[in-house]
């Protein structure tokens, strides 16, 4: 039996299901607010399309044929699925269902997002939230362009952005000089660029925003410098700085409450600039309700500055 789906209408299935439920064409017509002749016409057309006999009369009632019983079981599931489908738009709008993939770097993931995620999941427990992180967020631009990542949180890239990428500024973080307590620079009240260049540096790898700023500042002044280690995680950088192997420059985003016990930090944004952070997303893509609610939880001030993040 071939089911020509394009000719089977939902109202036919609804009428069929109501007749099965009530056992009567007349009761079905009353409940559906359509004439009995219209229901009879729908069932005849349905039987014609399916090449099946669905009902047989038993006195004043109708009874399903064996074929009709098989169809009835299927129709109930179909109509239940349709009812569920009707609820989907409202559930999406209310953030009761959905998916959201966010990419960021280790510093944001470790020092900013835990409380944000806790609050977001408490409000929207059914949203499937996927977080991915790397040391260099620029590596995720292809994923944003392909639609695999809805939102990227990271520093503003020094290189020009892809034409299809939007960047929305969030806030800036100071660049800090990090030295171990007891290091010669830890006792200086005022640190110069020349002072910093005298000591081995432990930095992020080339291509990171802070690393590029540091090298640019030294080269601009013609100061020789030594990069002893390239490490992609600030916590590991701190370990080697604490061992006295070198000094480092990274953003204040990487500080934790216990660092001041082991290190001295000096703001050096006057030499290397500060580090602006923000949100990247694909230009022209639909900003989902889940994205809007996450941004509202992460940085509510952005919803005021950028109506697209709060508009329904």
- Dist CA 18 CA 27 (whole Å): 8
According to DSSP, the β-strands at 127-134 and 263-267 are unpaired
CA distance 38 to 167: 58
pLDDT tops 90 at residue 160:
no
Mean pLDDT of 225-232: 95
Which one is predicted more confidently, 191 or 308?
191
The residue with greater pLDDT, 305 or 236, is 236
Is residue 212 one of the residues assigned to a domain?
Answer: yes
**Confidence bin at 116 (pLDDT 50/70/90):** very high
Mean pLDDT of 22-36: 87
* Domain edge (last residue) among 47, 66, 88: 88
In a shared domain, residues 38 and 154: no
Instruction: Tell me: do 9 and 78 sit in the same domain.
Output: yes
Q: Is the pLDDT of residue 87 over 60?
A: no
Whether 119 is covered by a domain: the verdict is: yes
Helix (H), strand (E) at residue 61 = strand 61-64
> Same domain, yes or no, for 84 and 127?
no
Q: How confident is the model at residue 312 (pLDDT cuts 50, 70, 90)?
A: low
Residue 307 in this model has a pLDDT that exceeds 90: no
**Residues 163-169: what's their mean pLDDT?**
93
Range of the structural domain that residue 43 is part of: 5-88
Most confident of 75-84, 222-231, 290-299: 222-231
49 and 118 fall within a common domain: no
73 and 123 both lie in a single domain: no
Place of tokens 């399916």: 50
Helical residues (DSSP H) of 25-105, grouped into ranges: 25-32, 36-50, 66-93
Q: Do 235 and 295 fall into the same domain? A: no
CATH number of the domain enclosing 128: 3.40.190.10
Q: What is the total count of domains within the chain?
A: 3
State the average pLDDT for the chain: 87
Q: At 175, which helix (H) or strand (E)?
A: strand 175-180
Residue 3 is predicted with a pLDDT of: 39
Q: Are residues 207 and 134 in the same domain?
A: no
Residue 167 falls inside a structural domain: yes
Task: Determine, yes or no, domain membership for 93.
Answer: no
Q: Say if residues 70 and 100 touch (Cβ distance below 8 Å).
A: no
Domain match, 63 and 111 both: no
* Residue 204 in this model has a pLDDT that exceeds 60: yes
Please tell me whether residues 44 and 193 are part of one structural domain: no
231-260 average pLDDT score:
94
Looking at 56, 88, 120, which one is the last position of a domain?
A: 88
Last residue of a domain, one of 88, 111, 135: 88
DSSP characters over 105-131: EHHHHHHTHHHHHHHHHHH-TTEEEEE
Of these ranges, 69-78, 129-138, 214-223, the one predicted with the greatest mean pLDDT is: 214-223
Q: Is 228 helix (H, G, I), strand (E, B) or coil?
A: strand
188 and 168 co-located in one domain? no
- Segment 304-312 shows an average pLDDT of 74
Instruction: Supply the CATH number for residue 79's domain.
Output: 1.10.10.10
């Amino acid at each position: 039996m071939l089911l020509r789906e394009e000719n089977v209408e939902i109202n036919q299935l609804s009428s069929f299901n109501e007749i099965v439920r009530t056992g009567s064409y007349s009761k079905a017509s009353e409940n559906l607010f359509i004439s009995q002749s219209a229901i009879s016409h729908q069932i005849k057309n349905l039987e014609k399309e399916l090449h099946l006999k669905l009902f047989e009369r038993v006195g004043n009632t109708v009874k399903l044929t064996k074929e009709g019983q098989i169809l009835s079981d299927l129709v109930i599931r179909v109509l239940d699925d349709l009812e569920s489908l009707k609820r989907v738009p409202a559930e999406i709008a209310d953030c009761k269902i959905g998916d959201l993939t966010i990419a960021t770097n280790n510093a944001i993931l470790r020092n900013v997002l835990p409380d944000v995620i806790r609050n977001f999941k408490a409000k929207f427990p059914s949203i499937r939230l996927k977080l991915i992180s790397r040391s260099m967020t620029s590596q995720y631009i292809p994923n944003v362009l392909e639609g695999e990542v809805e939102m990227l949180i990271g520093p503003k890239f020094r290189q020009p952005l892809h034409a299809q990428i939007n960047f929305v500024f969030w806030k800036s973080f100071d660049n800090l000089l990090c030295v171990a307590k007891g290091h010669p620079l830890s006792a200086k009240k005022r640190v110069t660029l020349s002072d910093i260049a005298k000591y081995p540096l432990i930095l992020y790898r080339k291509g990171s925003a802070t690393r590029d700023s540091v090298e640019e500042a030294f080269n601009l002044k013609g100061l020789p410098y030594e990069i002893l280690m390239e490490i992609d995680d600030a916590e590991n950088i701190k370990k080697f700085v604490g061992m006295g192997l070198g000094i480092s420059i990274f953003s204040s985003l990487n500080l934790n409450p216990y660092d001041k016990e082991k290190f001295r930090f000096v703001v050096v944004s006057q030499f290397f600039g500060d580090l602006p952070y923000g949100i990247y997303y694909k230009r022209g893509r639909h900003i989902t309700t889940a994205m809007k609610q996450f941004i509202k939880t992460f940085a509510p001030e952005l919803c005021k500055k950028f109506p697209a993040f709060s508009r329904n």
